Every structure is written in structure tokens, then in C-alpha cells.
Chain A
Amino acid sequence: MSEQLKVKTMQEFMAEGKQPEILFWVGSAGSYDDRAKKISRAFVKLLNKANVDFAVLGSEESSTGDVAKRAGNEFLFQMQAMMNIELLNGYEIKRIVTCDPHSFNTLKNEYPNLGGNYDVLHHTQYLKELMDAGRLTFQGETYKGKRITFHDPCYLGRANTVYDAPREVLAKTNAELVEMKRHRTNALCCGAGGAQMFKEPEKGNMDINVLRTKDALETNANIIATGCPYCNTMMTDGIKAHEREDSVTVLDVAELLANSL
């Protein structure tokens, strides 16, 4: 166990009669997946460093229903959405930040029509905001001289046209940023979206994550930066499939920045 993190729940804020600056939507992966939990911790480390007064929902949080919706189960999605909206509206939440582009997309685009209207940000956008406001500064020594390539998550990039924020914050690592041949609007999917994360792929001649990590390896980067817990898993597995785990690591933007403090 590393350093102690300061995390307060919405219930605690309520008990104190206060409102947080933002709600950190941790998401199911960020809460339970061993790899993604490290991303949650890294992001909180940054929030603590910037003295952000943030809350989490803790055990009151529940799946956004995004993956059920993409699998075709609109019932389950709307059940989840209505429950979450009731909770969020009850707490009078205004701003939500999440490390998961899928939660980001659903909360931002699919909740309003069901009664949930919030200002929703991806963590890379919020980190950019903190930097611009001078609340977060970096030494930027750890990755000097390294090569980093950023893999655009579909639900951040094409789905919501957020391409610059992750790149701008990555620049703070002082590493050399290199682009894959397919990036931004024509970035290739990691293979996890649309509920693929939870099932075996259909018959084909290759796994999508293996093809995508090939793109990344062609840049000769030391580090593949991701902004999505699912992409992170897929790219990590892809690197293993190429037997390059000794020379290439996969890290979330939040982790790279937390290590650059």
C-alpha cells in the first residue's frame, strides 16, 4: 500500500452540509478492476495535490448501464440510468469527472434525455483545466527522453471529438509525443467497445487489440498512453501478445502525470 489518499463520499459532504467542486465518477472498472484501480488512485493523487474538494459516491455508485445499452439491453440501461439520476439529482450534483470515456459519453449524452443534466468531463479535460488554472504543476523529470504514443479511446475521440486535451496534458511529462499512423479521427479501436470486453471475439484472423498494439509498436514508443481503463487492458494484453512487455509499458494519462509531479 502506498501513500494515504484523501477521499470523501457524497454522504460525508451531505452530513457536513457542503457541496464538492466535482463528483469523481469512479466507474465499475475503476472500482473493481485491479489494473484500473491504480488509475483511480493516480487520479485521486492528482486531485489531492491540486487540493480539489471532490466527492465519490462510494457504495452508492452503480454501473451507468452503458455496456448494457451497447449490448442491446435498453431496459437494463434505463433502469440503471434512472437509479443513478435519482441519486445524482438528490445530491444536486452539477459537475462530474470520470476516467472512463464510456461513462463520460453516457453521462454526458444519454442521461440528459432521461432527466440527468450535468457538466461532464473526462479526467484529461479536467486535468487540463487544473493546469490552466495553475492549481497543478509538474516537475516533469520522470519521462524526459522517453517516447510516448497516445491511443485515442473511441468514446473520447470520435464519439465526443476530444482529441487535444489528453495530448496537451501529456506534454507536461516532457516526453517526446509520437503519433501512430492511425490517430485522432481515424484511430483504430482497441477492440473492447460495444460490450466486446465481456465476450470472446467472433471468428477472424487476428484480435483487434493485437492489430492496434502493432500500430503502437511501429512508433518505437517506450510508453503507450491510454485514457480508458478498457483500452488499457486491451493494449496491455496486446503488448503481451507481441511479447514486448519488457520494453513497452501501458499507462493511463493520469498515472503518467501522477508520476511527473
Chain B
Amino acid sequence: MEYVPNILFAIALFVGIGFFVRNVKKLSRNIKLGKNVDVSDNKSQRWRNMVRIALGQSKMVVRPVAGFMHIIVYVGFIIINIEVLEIILDGLFGTHRLFASLGSIYNFLIGSFEVLAFLVIVAVVVFWIRRNIIRLQRFIKPEMEGWPKKDGNMILYIELVLMTLFLTMNAADSQLQQLGAEHYVQAGSFPISQFIMPLLDGLSASTLIFIERTAWWLHILGILAFLNYLYYSKHLHILLAFPNTYYGKVKPKGALNNLESVTNEVKLMMDPNADPFAAPPEGTETAVPEKFGASDVMDLNWVQLLNAYTCTECGRCTSECPANLTGKKLSPRKIMMDTRDRLEEVGKNMDANKGEFVPDGKQLLDDYISREELWACTTCNACVQACPVSIDPLSIIIEMRRFLVMEQSAAPMELNNMMSNIENNGAPWPYNQMDRLNWVNE
């Protein structure tokens, strides 16, 4: 009987981490549905970006209030994980406050965890007020209705509950230490939970132990549950922000990629020695010509799909988008959310069909992202600049425009006129190329 809690704990840990691993595998499989893209360049720049943008939160503080609050929650999350390590070891070995032998260092650590936990609670409350009372513009856009709104609040509730459990556990623990209860070593300092202690005054040791144990168990089970909530939530950014900032664009924002498949065809077209009637080389007869641009998630590259899973739906992109600011349908955040939703749908389809995708008559274009949204983009890069985790919604918009223009010839009529002018006379307007120098003498 003595080892029952240890065994239960080990099972909970195993199940929690097991499910998490399964989710990570699914995540990685879905991301790999994207096309390959070479990201082996600029390694040192990429590492620097990750350290500065993800670890150092450099782009969060562009908006100081949200940025500062976010850093509190972020630092709190990372540092309090040291405590989680102790909890896991205690749980497995049946010890209590295993690290207590660190003495004054331990006291300092526990004290600072408490202060951080309190600050996290304050930040979470402020975040909740911004979303639900102040109702900041960017949190109430159409794409935030339903699950995304619930998800945002759910994360705040979970964090609030976890921090409260942590402080309650400490309060009961320190009360038990004062009572000299067996098993409860004198350790830790409790700058915040001391204010909860009066609530526990006069309770018997056994009641206190019950409170302490309950809080302890709920806290760790809550953490394990939260870990498994990530996959279904925008909160996945706490993990993916790191790879995403590493793989994010290192070229100047204005540089779009040149499609290699097009380069090959253009070279052939411009080669005076090419035989237009030549048969394709041996062995390539059956090759399907590569599709230009993207109409579905599999046509995007895997970094773009990673972008979609990393998006935390903060809406900084949308709040800076000139099209969105002037009432157009385009919202860069919705582009990312749609990409993730469609990718999830494709993933579920594969799960249900033994790992093979069975065409479902749907695609990212039209079923998720409308043409009206795609054509409203000014390619100004405001969304890319605003993103605190290096997501590039513009690259997806361009890839989908490429599909519309090169596979479907479905550009707006005025743009078709502009393009035929370039084809005919080398300028977007219908002027004679021989008149290019007239401005000198006008």
C-alpha cells in the first residue's frame, strides 16, 4: 500500500507524456506534408534570430503593455518549471521537497517562484480584462468567433488555476511545517502564500495534509493535461516559437522566392537552340508537370505549415494590415488560422484512412481562403514585421495568387490588362517602348 501513490503518479506521468509524444508525432507528420524547402543557409543568423526573437522576446515589447505582461508569464512559465522537476521526482520517489537540502538557495528559489506565480496571476487577469472587458479590437475580429475566443480564455483560466493551486499547496505546506507535522521538512520561504495561511488557521493536521496533497496532485495533473491541450490550441506557440524563429525568413522582407520550376521553363523558352518539338528525355514521359503556386496546404512548403501551427492568434498582423484597417475582408491572422484548420482537416482525413489522404473535394482556396482576401493584399509586409514569432502570411498569399494566375488564369481583369501590356510593350501601361526616353525632352 505504501507505494500506491508512487505507482499512480508514474502511471499519470507515463500517460500524460505518452499522449504528448503521440501529438508531437502527428504534428510533425502534418508539417512534413509541406513541400521541401532549403533552410540550411545562414545558420548563425538563424540562431541569433531564435535567441533574440523567441528567447529574448524582442518583438513582443514593441507593444510595451502586452509585451511586459507576456514576459512575466513567459519567465514565470520557464522558471516555475524547476519546481515541476522537483514535483515529478517527489512523486516518483515518494519524497517531499527533495531539493530542500539546497538550504538557503532552496528558500530563495521557492520564494521567487511564489513571487512569479503571483505576478503571473496579475498578468493573466490583465490579459483576461483586455480580451473580455476592454475588448481590444484585434481580439474581436470575425475569425476569433467561437473556438479561438474560447481557447484564448481557456488558457488564461488554466494558468490562473495552476498558479492558485501552487500557492495553496505552499500555504498548507508551510502551515504543516509550523505544526511540525511528520514528513513536512522545514524548507522554503513563502512571501506570497503566507497571505493565504490565515484562511487555513485552526485546521487540523490531517485536513491540512488533505489540502496540501489535493493541491499538489491537481497541480501536476493540471500541468500534464495542459501539455496535452497544446496540440489543440494556439498555445502551441510556447514550443513552436523556437523552431519557427529559427526557420523564419532571413532574406530582406521584400525578397520573394523565384520559382525554380518556372526558371527551367523560361530558360528553355529563351534558349535559341532548344527544339520546341523535342520529345522529353527518356524516363520522364510519365512525370506530371509541377503545379505552380498553391491551392491547398500540401502545395505550401513545410515552413509555411510550421508557421500556421505556431500562430498564437494575437492579431498584431491584422491590426497593422492596411487592407484590414480599411474594412477589407483580408486578415493575415485568418490566413494562418485557415491554413492550420485545413491542415488539421487533412491530418484527420489521413488518420481515418490508414495514413493516406483521400481527396475530400475541399481545398484551402475558396473553401477556407477566398479570392477576395487574396487580391486585397498590398504586399506591404506590415504583417510580417508585426509578427512576434516570425510568421510570414504574405508568402502564403503570394503562393495562392500564383496558383490563381498561372494555373487558372483567374486574375482580376484589370491585372490581366496590366500583364498583357508588360508582355506586349514592356510596361504595365499601353505605351510604345520606343517612347521610353521621351521624358527627357518634355
Contact = CB atoms under 8 A, between A and B. Distances in A.
B269 interface: yes
- What is the interface residue range for chain B against chain A? 35 or more
Interface string A167-210: 00000000000000000011011011111111111111111100
B225 interface: no
Contacts of B437: 7, 9, 31, 56, 58-59
B411 A72 contact: yes
A214 B332 CA distance: 24
B293 interface: yes
B440 interface: yes
Nearest to A188: B322
A56 B265 CA distance: 30
Interface in B341-400: 372, 375-382, 384-386, 398, 400
B434 interface: yes
A191 B372 contact: no
Interface in A1-53: 1, 5, 7, 9, 26, 28, 30-33, 37, 40-41, 44
Interface in B271-295: 292-293
Given A70-B379, A74-B258, A44 B440 contact: yes
Nearest to A62: B426
A149 interface: no
Nearest to B384: A158
Interface in A63-83: 63, 65, 67-76, 78-80, 82-83
Contacts of A114: 258, 263
Interface in B405-439: 405-406, 411-412, 414-415, 417-419, 422-423, 426-429, 431, 433-439
A197 B427 CA distance: 13
Given A32-B431, A204-B327, A160 B402 contact: no
B436 A31 contact: yes
A28 B414 contact: no
Contact of B439 (A37, A73, A83, A191): A37
Given A202-B329, A205-B327, A75 B266 contact: yes
A110 B256 CA distance: 7
B427 A75 contact: no
Interface in A143-160: 154-155, 158-160
A61 interface: yes
A7 B417 CA distance: 32
A74 B262 contact: yes
A71 B262 contact: no
A188 to B, nearest CB: 6
A206 B262 CA distance: 37
Contacts of B375: 199, 202
A161 interface: yes
Contact of B326 (A9, A33, A74, A207): A207
B433 A62 contact: yes
A68 B419 CA distance: 6
Interface string B242-277: 000000000111111011001101110110000000
A31 B267 CA distance: 28
A261 interface: no
Contacts of A248: none
A28 B427 contact: yes
Nearest to B373: A202
A247 to B, nearest CB: 24
Contacts of A193: 378-380
A105 interface: yes
B41 interface: no
A58 B426 CA distance: 12
Contact of A188 (B252, B325, B403): B325
B404 interface: yes
Given A63-B422, A195-B418, A211 B322 contact: yes
A109 interface: yes
Given A28-B429, A71-B415, A73-B411, A202 B401 contact: no
Contacts of A68: 418-419, 422
Given A71-B418, A154-B380, 9 more contacts: A32-B439, A59-B436, A62-B433, A67-B418, A67-B422, A73-B419, A79-B269, A193-B379, A194-B379
15 contacts: A9-B437, A31-B438, A41-B440, A59-B436, A71-B418, A72-B401, A73-B406, A79-B266, A109-B255, A159-B254, A159-B255, A198-B415, A198-B428, A199-B412, A202-B329
- Sorted nearest first, the 3 A-B pairs with minimum C-beta distance are A159-B254, A72-B401, A62-B426
